[in-house]
Amino acid sequence: RMPAHAIPHTPIPPTIAFDTTLRGDPASGARLTASGTCVACHTIKGVPSLQAKVGPDLTHVGSRLTIGGGLFPNDARHMGSWIKNAGAMKPGSFMNTLGKGQFDPKVKMTLTMGLTDQQIADVVAYLQALK
């Protein structure tokens, strides 16, 4: 646990609304993570489809104190928002915008396809369980 003075307080952009009342299903999140676009960039040891080396290794992401290069605390609200639209949270981020209906700052258009808040909550539940 981080001391209060070390907890980052970077605001989440108002354009990203993530429903934190949703209860995520880790098993569903594991399936989405292992078969979705995550496989193009991330590694999770023990998951054969997740062996890419472009993005951060997510093997123990649930035990990290921060995400986004230390800009945000590693909690469900911030991780869900990050998955939904990392580029809006941290301009210049290489991570793709994944949230349905989000404006992608890289391609300058709103996504008509993508993950729903429930799907994101499922992925978050899975990732938070990786200790």
pLDDT tens figures, 45-85: 999 999 999 999 999 999 999 999 999 999 999 999 999 99
Please tell me the predicted confidence (pLDDT) of residue 4: 87
Distance CA 49, CA 42 (A): 9
Residue 21, pLDDT > 90, answer yes
Q: Quick one: pLDDT at residue 2?
A: 80
Specify the pLDDT at position 59: 97
pLDDT of 3 higher than 90: no
Residue 96 clears pLDDT 90, i.e. is over it? yes
Residue range 7-19: average pLDDT?
92
Mean pLDDT, residues 98-121: 95
CA 17 – CA 36 distance, rounded (Å): 22
Kindly give, in sequence order, each residue whose CB lies less than 8 Å from that of residue 4, ignoring residues fewer than 6 positions away: none
